[in-house]
Every structure is written in C-alpha cells, then in structure tokens.
Amino acid sequence: MNKAKRHEIFTRLRAENPDPVTELEYNSPFELLIAVLFSAQATDVSVNKATRHLFPVADTPEKMYALGVDGLKEYIKTIGLFNAKAENAIKTCKMLIDKHNSEVPQTREELEALPGVGRKTANVVLNTAFRQIAMAVDTHIFRVSNRTKIAPGKNVLEVEEKLLRFVPKEFLLDAHHWLILHGRYICTARKPKCDACVIEDLCEFKEKTSS
C-alpha cells in the first residue's frame, strides 16, 4: 500500500469521526487503567456495566485497595477472568500507592511493571489518558491492518511498529481509536460490512480475495 492511499484512508476515517474516543467509561487515568486491565478477553460493554457500580465507591487506588481482592470480585464477577483481574488490580493499587504517590505513571516501563499490565494496556493508557503517540494493537486493529494492507504483520508487535512507521504523522495520535472502531463495527471478523465501509475502494482485501 502506498503513502497516498494510507493518507486518504485516515482522512476519511477522521472525517467520519473527528474526535474518536475509547468506549470504556472513565473519569481519571486511574479509572482508565483499571478499566483497560479488566477489558482483556472481555467486551467494553461488560466492563462498563461493572465499573458503573465499582468506580463510584472505589475511584482511587486507596479506595480500591481497601476493598480487598474478595470485595473487588463482587463488583467484577460478571467479567471474564475476574479472579485473576481482581488480584492484579489490587496488587496494582498497592504499587501505585507505594511507588507512585497514587498516581498513574506516564512511561511505558513503569506501566508495564504494574501487575496485569502488558504492552497493549500500557499503550492504551499512554495514548488515551496522557495523549502520547502509542499504538495499542488488539484483535480488531491486527485484523484491519492486515486485511486492508495498511500495516500487514505476522504478530501484534510487528503490526504496531509498522503502524507507527506508516500512518501519516497528522493521524498518529488518534489512529488507534479509528482502527479499533472500524474493526469493531465495520471490518468485523467473520463478515466484514464492505458495503458500509468508507474506505472500501481503497482497501486491498478485495483485490486479494477476488484474484
């Protein structure tokens, strides 16, 4: 895929959604961190349902840590893998209190040192909470990048590196949101909605499948 085509793709995605945001509900970097930690192998919808009850009573590391693992489980038991997520969240709260003055750190290294926080979670927090250029590649972004040929890669790290290299600079800050929303609602896994796609004529998926 050439540079001009990529530029036009993101121009159209931006025109359709000028101010893209995450669908996770949060009011602070801490709430976003916890929500993203909970969202692994779970839907944003299921996470939001749980955190709507959790965050009003535990919106700081201290308040959440005070719940304890068992107390936290009661709020998130409808989310997949809630046992492990509760343990990681409580350990993360403890580290935030002890090492970061209860503030969410703003570097990848410090974020990834938190229990349950991997590269993708760190990238979401850096990009969404702190508006740093970062590309959190989930299954949707991996699929869209490979299917359209915007940034094909064999694994998530390869796709992440290619996106950071190939996406025009003016779109880099919000590219993560455009791609994830496009993959979630249009370029779906089993049956992509090509007829409803604003970049359908630029996508190289059909060229491959029709040849």
pLDDT at 206: 64
Q: Which residues of 47-58 are buried (b: 16+ CB within 10 A; e: fewer)?
A: bbebbeebbeeb
pLDDT at 122: 96
| pLDDT, tens only, 97-112 | 999 999 999 999 999 9
Which residues make Cβ contacts (< 8 Å) with residue 163, sequence separation at least 6?
135, 137, 141, 145, 150, 151, 175, 179
Contact (CB, 8 A) for 92 and 116: yes
The ranges assigned to domains in the chain are 3-20+139-204, 29-129
- Say whether domain 3-20+139-204 belongs to CATH 3.90.850.10: no
Catalytic residue among 3, 5, 85, 120: 120
| pLDDT, tens only, 63-81 | 999 999 999 999 999 999 9
Catalytic residue among 138, 193, 201, 208: 138
Distance CA 70, CA 156 (A): 34
Residue type (1 letter), 53: H
Place of tokens 């991996």: 142
Quick check: 210 pLDDT over 70?
no
Q: What is the CATH number of domain 29-129?
A: 1.10.340.30
Contact (CB, 8 A) for 147 and 187: yes
- Tallying the residues shown for the chain, one arrives at 211
* Catalytic site includes residue 49: no
* Catalytic site includes residue 44: no
